[in-house]
């Protein structure tokens, strides 16, 4: 889980962003970096904050 999380954060996400920026037209790549990425991140944080903690283990 740890390795997966680190790879996702520092390898997969940056690679997706770089490829998306290279392969899309000027206007679209502007909005990917200025709107889609932050909104996606906030949506993820919001979703995770609503997840119930695993029973037992975590306070």
Partner 1 sequence: MTLVSIVFVAYLLVVMVVGALASRFGRTMEGYFLADRGLGSWVTAISSVASSESGWLVLGLVGMAYTWGAQAVWTVPGVLLGYLCNWYVVAPRLRRQTEALGAITIPGYLEARFGDRWKLLRSLGILIILFCMMFYVAAQFTATGKAFQKAFGQSYGITYSHGVLIGGAITIIYTLVGGFRAVSWTDLIQGLLMVFGLVILPIITVSTVGGFGTLFRDLQTVPARTEAVMTVAEGAAISQVGVEDAPVDLAPGVTVRRVDGRFMLDVASSVTVRVGGESVEGSRELQVGDEIEAAGRSITYEKREEMVGGRDFADVLGGASGLGLLGWVLGLLGIGLGYPGQPQVITRYMAARSQGALRRGRLIAIVWGCLALYGAVVLGLAARLAVPDLIDPEQAYPSLATTHLPPVLGGILLAAIISAMMSTADSQLLVVASAVARDFIDQTLGVRRRLSAATMERTLVWITRVTVLLVGLVALVLALAEVRAIFWFVLFAWSGLGAAFGPPMLLALFWRRVNRWGALAGMATGILVTILWKTTWKAAVVELTGLSLYELVPAFGLSLLATWLVSLLTPSPPALPPGFEDEE
**Which residue ranges make up the site for partner 1 (CB under 8 A)?**
2, 5-6, 9-10, 13-14, 17-18, 21-22, 26-27, 29-30, 33-34, 37-38, 41-42, 45-46, 48-49, 53, 57-59
Q: Which one, of 24, 21, 43, lies nearest residue 33 by Cα?
A: 21
Query: CB 55 → partner 1: shortest distance, Å?
Result: 13
CA atoms of 38 and 50, how far apart (whole Å): 18
Task: Mention every residue, 6+ apart, whose C-beta is less than 8 A from residue 33.
Answer: 17, 21
Q: Which one, 2 or 55, has the nearer CB to partner 1?
A: 2
């Amino acid at each position: 889980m740890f390795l997966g999380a680190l790879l996702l954060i520092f390898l997969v996400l940056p690679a997706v962003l770089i490829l998306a920026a290279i392969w899309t037209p000027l206007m679209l790549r502007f909005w990917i970096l200025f709107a889609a990425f932050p909104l996606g991140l906030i949506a993820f944080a919001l979703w995770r904050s609503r997840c119930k903690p695993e029973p037992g283990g975590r306070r």
